[in-house]
Amino acid sequence: MLSFLIGLPILSAVAIAVLPKPMNGDNGRAIALLTMLIALIWSVLLGFKFDVGLTTLQFEENLSWLERLGLNYRLGLDGLALPLVVLNSLLTWIAIYSTDPEVTRPRLYYILILLLNAGVVGAFLAHNLLLFFLFYELELIPLYFLIAIWGGARRGYAATKFLIYTALSGILILVGFLGLVFLSGANSFEYDVTLAQTLPVSAQLILLSILLVAFGIKIPLVPFHTWLPDAHVEASTPVSVLLAGVLLKLGTYGLLRFGLGLFPEAWAIAARYLATWAVVSVLYGAFTAIAQKDMKKMVAYSSIAHMGYILLAAAAATPLSTLGTVFQMVSHGLISALLFLLVGVVYRKTGTRDIDVLRGLLNPERGLPLIGSLMIVGVMASAGIPGMMGFISEFMVFCGSFSVFPVQTLLCMVGTGLTAVYLLLLVNRSFFGRLPEQFAELPLVEWRDRIPSLILTLLIILWGLQPGWLAHWSETTLTALLVGQGELATPALIAPIDASTRSPAAL
């Protein structure tokens, strides 16, 4: 069942590679689209067959591989991974659909995107630490080429920076995993086995901090974030969509699964500092975004700010806030993908992303009115206007974290105010006002440019109005994840005065 999700993209990548020459770009595109459509349907079907009451892994697959190393091919699906798997299939389909059909070297391009998809799905499904590491590294290679070949002017610099950073993150993950297994004396890298370890807290703290840096690079958290704006600015639109929508989620997923899940005691000690770190990340990302002139850079910095909320919620580790992390991951995935898609259309039609140059694009006759309207929707969703997904996920994050870290939560809320500032500046400067003469002859926006954004907009509104449809997938798993967290999670009814006497640093 689950191997199909990994195997299908790899198989069609091989098919695109070996099919005879007359196969031009269009065929590659069609194959890739069809593959991802099947994968999407498959993952949604899995979602329907998924038993939401169970806390154990579902659709499990276990093949022994390198028994000696403790490396087994063990896959499983639970409520934490399921929404991300569906999101991954959806966004990959959208990325392929929004690719320019005249893309250069089409065969290589589609092969790489399919491999990227396979790597990410594998990482989400893997329940063996080494297997996770393998998929985590596998995903890196296609993305490096996607940025380095189809990127903008400084693509070499950006791609290398991305590669070095993420490779470093991979190595640190490996160090953390190896350390965990050696110190605990286990003979296997199975997730369940490592879960049962009882290491001293000091050892846990050291391993946790290694993993924090590793996943902090991927998420990214300030100060490990500088690869992200460069990578986004240089990457082409579909790659940006995947990068922001799915790949960053590997970091937060890893943090929850391997940080919170494996080292609960150490996590409880570190939580206070993690929450403060989240505040720094949120405010730093938001303030830096205000000063940006390049639309893509602005959205990239806003990603940094929004991923900070996930760290806050993970640090608080209450049932509500952990559910909030999943919501925030999905909502950020959809919203940032939407924003990047729209910025991509603007860039393709006008040739610039500079908000000091763009003006009046909402113009109904010669501008991009529908793209502009969708942009307003995306911006509002990102700023957390109710009725859309951004609001309910932020609300869950804040409500869940407030009882544990009142001050940090309030400071993070300032971040949502700042989100409104920079995104509104973006819309106001580039879409409002009078359309200048230089943009009077914009190329026509075709439906092909609009459909992906429309799909994302609908989903953002749908889940914003019916968040319960997403919540029931993840709730049981996440509550089970927190079993070791009893001492940290204070009941929601206890007043913040109480919290302050318990942890002086919190108030």
H helices present in 317-388, as ranges: 319-350, 369-383
Asked whether position 497 contacts another protein by CB under 8 A, the answer is yes
Asked whether position 444 contacts another protein by CB under 8 A, the answer is no
Using CB under 8 A as the binding rule, the residues of this chain from 417 to 436 that contact another protein are 417-418, 420-421, 424-425, 428, 431-435
Closest CB to another protein among residues 22, 504: 504
Beta strands in 38-90 (DSSP E): 58-66, 71-77
Which amino acid makes up residue 462?
L
Residues 6 or more apart from 114 whose CB is under 8 A from it? Answer: 9, 10, 12, 13, 16, 32, 35, 36, 92
Is residue 449 within 8 A of residue 338, CB to CB? The reply is no
Contacting residue, 152, 156, 223, 351, with another protein by CB under 8 A? 223
Crossing angle (nearest 10°) for helices 264-290 and 295-316: 160
Angle at the Cα of 385 (from 384 to 389), degrees rounded to 5? Answer: 65
Is residue 173 within 8 A of residue 212, CB to CB? The reply is no
Using CB under 8 A as the binding rule, the residues of this chain from 344 to 383 that contact another protein are 360, 362-364, 369-370, 373, 376, 380, 383
Using CB under 8 A as the binding rule, the residues of this chain from 456 to 485 that contact another protein are 467-468, 471, 475, 479
Binding mask 133-152 for another protein (x = CB under 8 A): --------------------
Count of chain residues binding another protein (CB under 8 A) = 65
Closest CB to another protein among residues 19, 164: 164
303: tokens are 């990603």
Asked whether position 409 contacts another protein by CB under 8 A, the answer is yes
Question: CA 286: distance to chain centroid?
Answer: 18
Q: How many CB atoms lie within 10 A of CB 303?
A: 29
Asked whether position 288 contacts another protein by CB under 8 A, the answer is yes
> What DSSP character marks residue 190?
B
Closest CB to another protein among residues 269, 385: 385
Contacting residue, 58, 276, 318, 457, with another protein by CB under 8 A? 318
Asked whether position 410 contacts another protein by CB under 8 A, the answer is yes
Question: CA 250: distance to chain centroid?
Answer: 6
Asked whether position 454 contacts another protein by CB under 8 A, the answer is no
Task: Measure the N-to-C terminal CA separation of the chain; round to a whole number of Å.
Answer: 49
Q: How many CB atoms lie within 10 A of CB 201?
A: 13
Shortest distance (Å) from residue 291 CB to another protein: 4
Is residue 102 within 8 A of residue 70, CB to CB? The reply is no
The values of phi and psi at residue 64, to 5°, are -80, 145
Is residue 144 within 8 A of residue 163, CB to CB? The reply is yes
Asked whether position 320 contacts another protein by CB under 8 A, the answer is yes
Closest CB to another protein among residues 92, 403: 403
Closest CB to another protein among residues 48, 447: 447
Shortest distance (Å) from residue 313 CB to another protein: 12
How far is it, in rounded angstroms, from Cα 188 to Cα 433? Answer: 63
Closest CB to another protein among residues 121, 248: 248
Asked whether position 438 contacts another protein by CB under 8 A, the answer is no
Residues in touch with another protein (CB under 8 A): 161, 164, 223, 226, 284, 287-292, 318-320, 323, 360, 362-364, 369-370, 373, 376, 380, 383, 385-387, 391-392, 395-396, 398-400, 402-403, 406, 409-410, 413-414, 416-418, 420-421, 424-425, 428, 431-435, 467-468, 471, 475, 479, 492-493, 495-497
